[in-house]
Amino acid sequence: MEFKLNEDQQMIHDLAKDFAESVLQPRIDEIEAGEMTEVSNGQKHPQLPHDIHQQLAECGFIGISFPEEYNGMGMGHVEQAIVIKELSRVSPSVGKCLDVYILVWRLWTCMPTMSRR
DSSP 3-state of 4 = coil
- 36 — phi, psi (to 5°)? -70, 120
Nearest CA-CA partner of 21 in 91, 85, 100: 91
What does the pLDDT profile of the chain (117 residues) look like in tens digits? 778 999 999 999 999 999 999 999 999 999 988 888 888 888 888 888 889 989 999 999 998 988 888 788 889 899 999 999 999 999 999 999 899 888 887 777 666 655 555
How far, in Å, CA of 68 to CA of 91, rounded?
27
